[in-house]
Chain A
Amino acid sequence: MSSSAVHSLWTTAAEGKLDKIPAPHIEYAQLAPTLIVVGAAIVGILVEAFVPRRSRYYVQVFLSVVALAAAFAAVVGLAAGGYGTTKAHIAAMGAIAVDGPALFLQGTILLASIVAVFTFAERRLDPVAHGNKVDSFAAQAASVPGSDSEKAAVKAGFTTTEVFPLALFAISGMLVFPSANDLLTLFVALEVFSLPLYLLCALARRKRLMSQEAAVKYFLLGAFSSAFLLFGIALLYGYAGSVSYATIADVVSGSVQNVNPALAGTMGNDALLLIGGAMILMGLLFKVGAVPFHMWTPDVYQGAPTPVTGFMAAATKVAAFGALLRLLYVVLPGMSWDWRPVMWGVAIITMLGGAVVAITQTDIKRLLAYSSIAHAGFILAGVIATNADGISSVLFYLGAYSFVTIGAFAVVTLVRDAGGEATHLSKWAGLGRRSPLVAAVFAVFLLAFAGIPLTSGFSGKFAVFKAAAEGGAGALVVVGVVSSAVAAFFYIRVIVLMFFSEPKADGPTVAVPSPLTMTAIGVGVAVTLVLGVAPQYFLDLAHSAGVFVR
């Protein structure tokens, strides 16, 4: 393109009349799930500003749950209207895809978020302080830990009800993330869900220094990885001349023949494609917590307030795997010979690394963090399958895994001693003698993580490994089964510790939660058993949702 032609793009002759700029065409009804959640988050901020402090908690919890339920109803409405299958298309001027995987993952994220908001709202675990009920979040995040201002805030009964709008903003980003259909939307959605999560990590009521440290680590590493993602986007933009998924896919597959000779240096340059694709994958693999980009996971999971950890472990993983699937299946299928070997390696070291390092852990939250890394590896095995079953099995696995995770972290919040949650494993010895019900529920979750038959973990793993084997990744399945066996060892070890060892005299107590946490745990157990005993309906649902639009 000549330089004067390029110049005319951003200058106009003074005497010429400008044409009217056409307004973009936005399908608001099809974007309703996201819009409802964003709207509720903004209303939540207004609530913080105008509603009296005493009633803020009730208003915020009500608002969040109603908004998430309404958004879920909108997702179900869209799916019932056929947008997941026959009417799947690309909305909002090519920015958002409304298709089966997007709706399935949005529904999963919303349901998991409702359950997570219940655990956020729990106020019966800690003893009443100065006549005020307290939740898991700092009385006043700005006050220095241990200072007079913190004591004054606790005494005045302040609570950080901002966590609910923050969570809603994060959820809105997560809803867009798996449905983003261009790289710019992908990046903005990534930041929209990451920034509130960084803040939520810093808000623990107990062990505040650890919580702030977790937030700093998550923030710096998250910003680092999103810079890589952005540079990758820049390189792919240079490669294809567009950030739209469909255009990039066309250029990758070579179906665009009219390459401008002036652009021969960039457009279609394989170096840009390979480096750019690798950097975008790096950013997404960081978010799913795959080895070697997992370093943040244990520290952040341990330091963050436990309800936030559960939310993060479940919903972030669902959103990030959705975006990863769409990127690999829609944008880069033309170079699957290039990315498959890399993803093979990542999946293998993720499965083995997560399972082996988890054995040495002595803190229950760190143990669950490494277990989530291993699970990321199992899901990656399904991603690598590159067939229709690969998509549907990953969708099913994500749905099954997210509820188990939230339930397991909800149980962790119940086991407490004087310093807050007793997360060291030695404290959990003999828990089965002291409170059999809580220990039994936790054992169910651990068995689901281990993938024992009749739990959702087994159906999920079976679906993923079956897809991987059919997709020609048989060796990966062998590694997966071996690392499942390694992982089963430390899950069973915790069960043995809970049921077959003597309780210590100064052991922790098990708090009696309100119906909110009971619901969260109950939903986790119900989903675990239903998806384990009768998974067929949900497998069919995932299968019918497993087609991307492009």
Chain B
Amino acid sequence: MNPVNYLYLAALLFTIGAAGVLIRRNAIVVFMCVELMLNACNLAFVCFSRLHGNLDGQVIAFFTMVVAAAEVVVGLAIIVSLFRSRHSASVDDASLMKL
């Protein structure tokens, strides 16, 4: 199978994630969409790694996983603290500073 097809899949996943960030309203779901975008990047890295025949892309995918894990820790801490004080994780409700 042509590996370029995986690139199309990566681009598709990235687009789905980006669209999800823009249209979903729950902070947790928005965050999951960001994770989907990061995983799409991983797929692209691994696919390019296969195409080029060097291992850089696969190593970068590991780094991305670690970064994504760290991001989950920080992000969930912030979203949970917001939820506990407002009883809502909706990004639309968080509008104290709207002009």
Contacts and interface: CB of A to CB of B under 8 A. Distances in A.
Interface residues of A, number: 53
Interface in B5-57: 7, 10, 14, 17-18, 21, 27, 30-31, 34, 37-38, 40-41, 44-45, 47-48, 50-57
A163 to B, nearest CB: 14
Contacts of A144: 84-85
B48 A266 contact: yes
Given A195-B70, A216-B78, A216-B82, A231 B44 contact: yes
A259 to B, nearest CB: 11
A224 interface: yes
B63 A188 contact: yes
A266 B57 CA distance: 14
Contacts of A146: 85
A219 B97 contact: no
B56 A202 contact: no
A299 B97 contact: yes
A303 B85 contact: no
Interface string B87-99: 0000100111101
A227 interface: yes
Interface stretch (A234-242, A432-440, A481-489): A234-242
A10 B50 CA distance: 11
B81 A141 contact: yes
B34 A220 contact: yes
Contacts of A57: none
A230 B90 CA distance: 27
A238 B52 CA distance: 8
A209 B86 contact: yes
A9 B31 contact: no
Contact of B41 (A191, A215, A220, A227): A227
A188 to B, nearest CB: 6
Given A227-B17, A237-B45, A212 B77 contact: no
A219 B21 contact: no
A233 to B, nearest CB: 8
B94 to A, nearest CB: 4
A9 B54 contact: yes
A463 B51 CA distance: 46
Interface string A1-21: 100011001100000000000
A223 interface: yes
B79 A302 contact: no
Interface of B: prevailing SS: helix
A208 interface: yes
A95 to B, nearest CB: 12
A198 B70 CA distance: 12
A202 B81 contact: yes
Given A220-B34, A227-B34, A237-B45, A263 B82 contact: no
A243 interface: yes
A242 B56 contact: yes
B34 A223 contact: yes
Contact of B38 (A216, A230, A241, A267): A230
B71 A302 contact: no
B81 A184 contact: no
Given A199-B78, A215-B78, A217-B94, 11 more contacts: A146-B85, A209-B85, A210-B97, A217-B91, A220-B21, A223-B34, A224-B34, A228-B18, A231-B37, A237-B45, A237-B56
27 contacts: A142-B81, A144-B85, A184-B59, A191-B70, A191-B71, A195-B74, A202-B81, A209-B85, A209-B96, A210-B96, A212-B82, A217-B91, A220-B75, A223-B71, A224-B34, A227-B14, A227-B38, A228-B37, A230-B37, A231-B37, A237-B57, A241-B52, A241-B56, A267-B52, A298-B99, A299-B97, A366-B99
Among all A-B residue pairs, the 6 with the closest Cβ atoms: A227-B37, A238-B48, A234-B44, A241-B52, A1-B53, A230-B41
Interface of B: 4, 7, 10, 14, 17-18, 21, 27, 30-31, 34, 37-38, 40-41, 44-45, 47-48, 50-60, 63-64, 67, 70-71, 74-75, 77-79, 81-82, 84-86, 91, 94-97, 99
